Structure 1
Amino acid sequence: MLLGPTAVGKTRLSLELAAAYGAEIISGDSMQVYRGMDIGTAKISPAEMQGIPHHLIDIHDPQDAYSAAEFQEQGGHLIEEISDKGKLPFIVGGTGLYIESLCYGFRFSEAVADEAFRKEMDDFAEREGALALHARLELVDPVSAARLHPNDRRRIIRALEIHLQTDTTLSASHAAQNKESPYDLCLIGLTMDRKILYKRIEDRIDSMLAEGLVAEVKGLLEHGYGRSLVSMQGLGYKEIASYLEGEMTLAEAVTLLKRDTRRFAKRQLSWFRHMNEIQWIDVEGEQNFSENFAKIRAIIAGKFLSGLEYTSEQSN
């Protein structure tokens, strides 16, 4: 698996590694599952895939919410299918809960969806504000509250729902999960100096705007995909939608998007840091690509190959 925060450079390395090892890539990104949401998710294009099979991309329409439990089930089936073909399943992404749930076979809460409670909490958040809803979670589950951004309404409400129905907390459930994996894992994480990462994030957002992010969000809204949808709460979509609805200027929306994406990257790194099996590589830019690629190959060789080189030619 190749893990790391947004904009750290996972895509290019994943393509080179997949080509070298005859792998098929399973996307570990909670937003790239949605069709028509391409620019704001930095989704790889078919041409950029270089003929390498990619899975769990463009599998849902934006009105259909996607969950970690669904990813876990589908990812598990894909691992079996790819392995049965004699190929290497290669998970690449930055959605921590999704990836960890697949790695370790997490059991998800049996708390059922309570639409009346969810509406009550939605109405409360609309009336009192996001911080007031976040404060409710902080009272019953401070650990989850520290992990979730106040604007992440859906997950905050789910954590409150779990507490209401089970009298336990989401964080306690996570802490009690089995940390034994059914797979022989090789987890590689990419990181870099925080200032460099933040500059890359801001540059990426500028590129998204130049590529037509505003038009993409406008088109989604015109197709009837409302702002309350899980998909439309994604970074880039909710901020630009606020601009299009006249709630802020474009400059204000971009400033907010850059700030929240920096904070998201920080939360991604915090999540992955508690996964002790990850071997971290500091990447500093394109000029060090060959060196970083060689380091990853050495880690893979040490994990699986006992020093032997394994290439796509050997796997055919």
Structure 2
Amino acid sequence: MNNVTDDNRPPLLVLVGPTAVGKTALSLQLAHALNAEIISGDSMQVYRRMDIGTAKLMPEHREEIPHHLIDICEPEHPFSVSEFQSLCTQKIQDIHSRGRIPFIVGGTGLYVESVCYGFQFQDIGADESFRIEMRNFAHEQGAQALHDRLNAIDPISAAKLHPNDEGRVIRALEVFHLTGKPLSESQDQKRGDDKKSPYRLCIIGLTMDRAELYGRIEHRVDDMIADGLVEEVRSLLQLGVPRDSVSMRGLGYKEIAAYLAGETNFEDAVAILKRDTRHFAKRQLSWFRHMKALEWVDVGEAAKNNDLFPRICAIIAGKFMIDIEYICS
């Protein structure tokens, strides 16, 4: 690779975008071209035995390109953003030491940003009795009432969280309970900018027409059901994974778990899953739009011109100052 830049920071390639936009296929193509290793930037793919609901690339399809931070912990483990940041930073160093490019691919905005800009996380701690109190409140008054409590003290965090994201809503309330300060205030203080990033960043965001994206989401959910999502969730529950664990509150798992518990019928569970996934994609796009130094690429527009890969290559070449012919060859 012909690299001509005075910036001595190590390069870090990042590909983000909403669920179902097409990140996986493109990431494999780019990783081949760039001699890169992929680091999953997805908060759910860290869990073992949670494959279908997380749209995880199966091991046989990961053989040619090394993938990291997939299947690294049990579903009972409450994996956190600070844990991801630490592990991901180590992986980036390891990949650089082998002379390859680290390539984060995923849709969990906070996880990705925490690495790109070196967020500093304080050990705020926890108050289990407060968490139980908030769970009971949500059970009695509803998810919206819990979300309203957060909105009253931290409207910025509330705007980023769906009322159904009970775990993160409670955590934001807990931070305020423990520190007297909104979670958003401490996060804003920790956010860096491109000049303070420890890496020479190239962040590419994929987007597409909203109606087309929602159509893809509908098909993805149908495919997950056909591939055995119900059986996957049933197996996890039979293994004793608690329904209130971080992993089981993920999209696809909480909806199907509710169906298996007899709290809703199958058709309604699938409809709720599709709706919540659409809402999730909308929140992802909102988060990414606030990320600095992100280069947007419209997948639908590029597909019409049959130039998605060359367009991405041109962005990478400009950011990393490398020969575009090298990437596209």
Could you say what secondary structure the match of 2:54 adopts? Answer: coil
**1:131-210 correspondence runs (5 A):** 131-177=144-190, 178-179=192-193, 180-210=196-226
Q: Is the Cα contact below 8 Å between 2:313 and 2:327 reproduced in 1?
A: no
Whether 2:60 is the aligned partner of 1:47: answer: yes
The aligned residue for residue 32 of structure 1 is 45
Sort the Cα spacing of 1:7 and 1:308 in 2 relative to 1 into closer, same or farther, 3 A.
closer
| Offset of residue 312 of structure 1 | 10
Match of residue 248 from structure 1:
264
Between stretches 184-193 and 42-51, larger displacement belongs to 42-51
SS at match of 2:72: coil
- Unpaired runs of 5+ residues, structure 2, are 1-13
The alpha carbon displacement at 1:311 in A equals 4.8
Determine if the alignment matches structure 1 residue 126 to structure 2 residue 139: yes
| Matched letter for residue 40 of structure 1 | G
Which residue number corresponds to residue 261 of structure 1?
A: 277
239-248 or 164-173: bigger deviation: 164-173
Q: Percent identity?
A: 59
1:115 match: 128
Rounded to whole Å, the distance in 1 between the matches of 2:305 and 2:125 is 46
Q: Check the 8 A contact 1:22/1:312 in 2, yes or no.
A: no
Structure 1 unaligned regions, length at least 5: none
Aligned position for 1:282:
298
Cα pair distance change 1:144/1:161, threshold 3 Å: same
Offset of residue 100 of structure 1: 0.3
| Residues 29 and 45 (structure 1), Cα distance of their counterparts in 2 relative to 1, 3 Å cut | same
8 A contact 1:301–1:309 mirrored in 2: no
Q: Is 1:109–1:162's contact at 8 Å kept on the other side of the alignment? A: no
Give CA-to-partner distance per residue, 1:2-56, whole Å, 9 cap, x none. Answer: 1100000000000000000100000000000000000000000112224100000
Q: C-alpha displacement at 1:113, in angstroms?
A: 1.1
- Taking the aligned partners of 2:51 and 2:226, their CA distance within structure 1 comes to 14
Q: Give the superposition deviation at 1:99.
A: 0.2
2:143/2:164 contact within 8 Å kept: yes
Distance in 1 between residues matched to 2:131 and 2:326, nearest whole Å: 51
Q: Counterpart of 1:89 in 2: which secondary structure?
A: strand
Which sits farther off after the overlay, 37-46 or 286-295? 286-295
- Counterparts of 1:189 and 1:299 in 2: how far apart (Å)? 11
Q: Structure 1 residue 79 and structure 2 residue 92: aligned?
A: yes
Q: Distance in 1 between matches of 2:242 and 2:305?
A: 41
1:235 has 2:251 as partner: yes
Q: Distance in 2 between matches of 1:286 and 1:98?
A: 27
1:122: Cα distance to partner? Answer: 1.3
Tell me whether 1:65 sits opposite 2:65 in the alignment: no
Following TM superposition, by how much is the alpha carbon of 1:182 offset from its aligned partner in structure 2, in angstroms?
Answer: 0.7
Q: Distance in 2 between matches of 1:184 and 1:257?
A: 38
Specify the code of the residue in structure 2 equivalent to 1:275. Answer: M
Could you state the TM-score of these two structures normalised by the residue count of structure 2? 0.92
- CA distance in 2 between partners of 1:77 and 1:122 (Å): 35
Q: CA RMSD in A?
A: 1.6
CA displacement 1:51-103 (0-9 Å, x = unmatched): 10000000011001111000100010010000000010000000000000010
In structure 2, the residue corresponding to 1:310 is in which secondary structure? helix
| Aligned partner (choices 212, 218, 223) of residue 228 of structure 2 | 212
Mark the CA change 1:244 to 1:308 in structure 2 (over 3 Å): closer, same or farther: closer
142-151 or 94-103: bigger deviation: 142-151
CA contact (8 A) 1:111 1:161 kept: no
Tell me: CA distance 1:34–1:232, structure 2 relative to 1, closer, same or farther (3 Å): same
